Chains A and B, each alone.
Chain A
Amino acid sequence: MAQARSRKRRIGMQIAEHATGIIASILFLAPIAWTVLSAFKPAHEARQPPLPPWPTTGFSLENYATLNTFGDGLWLPAQNSIYVSVMTVVLSVIVSVLAGYGFSRFRFPLKNLLFVVILSTIMIPFQSILTPIFLVLTKIGLHNTLTGLVCVYVTLQLPFSIFMMRNAFDAVPREIEEAARMDGANNVTMLLRVMLPLVWPGIVTIALFAFLGAWNEFLAALVLMTDQSKFTLPIMMTALQSGRFGAIDWGAVQAGVTVMMVPCLVLFLLLQRFYIRGLMAGAVK
């Protein structure tokens, strides 16, 4: 009797858990599904009120075509976005792997103080130092260049990445290092051939964060880029929105957002396994 009741309660709990999960995932998926579906509306329908979100008069790729006729086409801002994101990933991975290795395995004066200073810069939000950053970049002639944008993004990513990489290196057992040392590995071989394969999940995690951050970043790109040939995709989307006699072409905007979403989704799904392992390695420190 008591057993049957407790089993019934367990099943009830399971149903409640699943229901919560399903409702939460619908809440998160709905806007994405809405955007993707309405991107396929023909142009005349995209101007109508947005309900229902799916196209009622047949699928069309008209919005994607409009997207490509705006300004210099879609490929140029896409190239800019790819360049900025890839450079951000490469630079922040190189710097934070070296810094993380140093902070984890070497002893040097003021090490702990330096680490705390780097960590405390996480507290300073980028938006609140926007104007000073703009002034500095103008002074050294890097405003309105993609290099300047990459510098800003790398600076923003570094505190978090260095923190993650130090935790990843800390998690590698010292015995492995000692064994490699016995086999005659110097510091560089040690890092490249012994440590790197072991901290791989951490590297994937910070690379993914850097990529998503640089790909989606809006405010810095809006402020620093004034030349239309240097716009990244998010800026291009707002230019598209306010261009054309002030009338908003919602269809094209939806199509653009859908295109922008694809690389993020692909990368995230591909790297999900590493990503979760990398975060867990850093979480319990």
Chain B
Amino acid sequence: MRRTLALALILSVAGSILAFDQFYIILRGGPRNQTLTAVYWIFNQSFVSFKLGYGAALSMVLLVILVALSLIQLRLLRQPEGVD
């Protein structure tokens, strides 16, 4: 089960970190930016304030964070030696 669990966990954690649609549609990040997500922040910086370079830099930081998180989860859920 470990492999299945690892896959499901990584997919759902990455999916929730990348949440955007629901926040944009229902709350627009309001009230007073309390419901901004990471992707929403990037979106605001790049396409509302038009700081495209800053937005691209933020995107890369988010990418690094996500890869690191996925690797940590893979590590924690690694198959023990000798078990198939």
- The reply to whether B46 and A128 form a contact with Cβ atoms under 8 Å apart is no
Contact of B18 among A123, A127, A222 (CB under 8 A): A127
Q: Is A132 an interface residue (CB 8 A)?
A: yes
Q: Are B42 and A125 in contact (CB under 8 A)?
A: no
Structural contact, A130 and B25, CB atoms closer than 8 A: no
Residue among B24, B47, B52, B63 making CB contact with A128, cutoff 8 Å: B63
Question: Does A238 lie at the interface of the complex (its beta carbon under 8 Å from any beta carbon of B)?
Answer: yes
Query: Which residues of A (68-127) have their CB < 8 Å from a CB of B?
Result: 123-125, 127
Interface of A is mostly: helix
B-side binding surface: helix, strand, loop or mixed?
helix
- A contact residues around B46 at 8 Å (CB): 130-131, 134, 223
User: Is A129 within 8 A of B25, CB to CB?
Assistant: no
Q: List B residues 53-84 near A (Cβ within 8 Å).
A: 55-56, 58-60, 62-63, 66-67, 70
Q: Is A241 an interface residue (CB 8 A)?
A: yes
Cα distance A129–B42 when bound, in Å?
Answer: 10
For B, the interface residue count at a CB cutoff of 8 angstroms equals: 22
A62 to chain B minimum Cβ distance, whole angstroms, is: 23
Are B21 and A218 within 8 A (Cβ)?
yes
**Shortest Cβ distance from B20 into chain A, in angstroms?**
5
Chain B residues near A241 (CB-CB < 8 A): 25
Q: Does A61 contact B (CB under 8 A)?
A: no
CB-CB nearest in chain B for A237: B25
Task: Decide if A128 touches B18 in the complex (CB within 8 Å).
Answer: yes
Cα A241 to Cα B21 in complex, Å, equals 14
**Nearest chain B CB to A284 CB, angstrom units:** 12
A202 and B14 alpha carbons, distance in the complex (Å) = 26
Mask of A215-234 contacts with B, CB within 8 angstroms, 1/0: 00011001100000000000
Chain A residues with CB under 8 Å of B60's CB are: 128
Tell me whether B43 and A130 are in contact (CB under 8 A). Answer: yes
B20-41 Cβ-contact flags toward A at 8 Å (1 or 0): 1100110000000000000100
Given A125-B18, A128-B18, A218-B21, 18 other A-B residues pairs in contact with their CB atoms under 8 A: A123-B70, A127-B20, A127-B39, A128-B39, A128-B59, A128-B66, A129-B59, A130-B39, A130-B46, A130-B59, A131-B58, A134-B47, A218-B24, A219-B20, A219-B21, A219-B39, A223-B47, A238-B25
